[in-house]
Amino acid sequence: MSTRMPKHISRLLLLLVVVMIGAYAVRSWLVDPSYYRFGHFRADAVPEIAAQTPLYQGSDYCRTCHAERNEDWAKGAHQTVQCEVCHGIDHNHPDDGKSLVPADKIRLCTTCHLAITGRPAKQPQIVLGEHPFPGEETPQCHTCHNPHSPGEMQEDETAPSGSAAVNAPAIVSKCAKCHGKNGEGVKRNPALAGLTPEVFIERINQYKSGSRKNKIMAKFANSLSEEEMQELAKYYENLAATSPE
């Protein structure tokens, strides 16, 4: 009886050897020699990355031309966020004349401030479609907030004095989101405290008619009934006028 290996078995083994040798050769050609020297990465990438020119130039570079913006930024909630995080990288700026101001503030700001599970509770978060008012379109963030020093609308435990605190209408909570808890005004949003009812109602009617232009205020004004306008006017008349933040 013959003990020779059948041809089809020997050919199969030969084919496997050729494939293994080919696979090793291809791997040696494709895989960098420094791979797995320190772990599952290319070891030579570390000094290569370290030798590159840094992409971010830092906020010190921006301060030369934007001192006013830097002053707001340096004392605001965004002081730990470098300019290029929001404005992007451009080594030729300002010589190339390109604007680095993002057009879509909602998309930019929600990168950090969209309410998602696991995000720290102390970090301000919003739900699109509910901010600033439920069921209404979310406006561009800079409409109400100074992006370089966004003020957080903190709840003030100290209620305004006088009968106005007791008789505060429920609708006033919507005004407080942009104009302050005590109507003191916030950033570019004007103060309401101390306005006479005539002036307050006149301004609301101007937003209703469109003679004053503001998309958010137009929607809010048109949602108010005559009774609510009167209540708000009386409420803010009785608040002591204060300086905006």
Quick: pLDDT tens for 100-116: 888 899 999 999 999 99
- Indicate the angle between helix axes 226-237 and 197-209, nearest 10 degrees: 140
Looking up tokens 């301004």 gives 203
Nearest to 35 by CA among 46, 26, 25: 46
Structure confidence at residue 84 (pLDDT):
92
Q: Which two tokens stand for residue 219?
A: 């929607």
Structure confidence at residue 155 (pLDDT):
40
Distance between CA atoms of residues 166 and 117, nearest Å? 37
* Contact between residue 32 and residue 24 where contact means Cβ atoms under 8 Å apart: no
Tell me which H or E stretch contains 48: helix 45-50
Q: Which two tokens stand for residue 154?
A: 């903190």
35 DSSP β-pair partners: 42
**pLDDT above 60 for 158:** no
Name the more confident of 204 and 130: 204
**pLDDT above 50 for 161:** no
Gyration radius of the chain over CA positions? 32
Distance between CA atoms of residues 24 and 37, nearest Å? 18
Q: How confident is the model at residue 26 (pLDDT cuts 50, 70, 90)?
A: very high
User: What domains are defined for the chain?
Assistant: 39-101 (no CATH), 105-137 (no CATH), 163-237 (1.10.760.10)
Residue 35's CB is within 10 A of a number of other CB atoms, namely 16
φ/ψ of 2, rounded to 5, equals: -75, 140
94 upstream amide cis, omega within 30 of 0:
yes
DSSP 141: G
Q: How confident is the model at residue 244 (pLDDT cuts 50, 70, 90)?
A: very low
Write down how long the chain is: 245
Burial 81-115 (b: 16+ CB within 10 A, else e): ebbbebeeeeeebeeeeeeeeeeebbebbbeebee
pTM score: 0.52
DSSP 186: B
φ/ψ of 189, rounded to 5, equals: -85, 125
Name the more confident of 18 and 213: 18
Q: How confident is the model at residue 23 (pLDDT cuts 50, 70, 90)?
A: very high
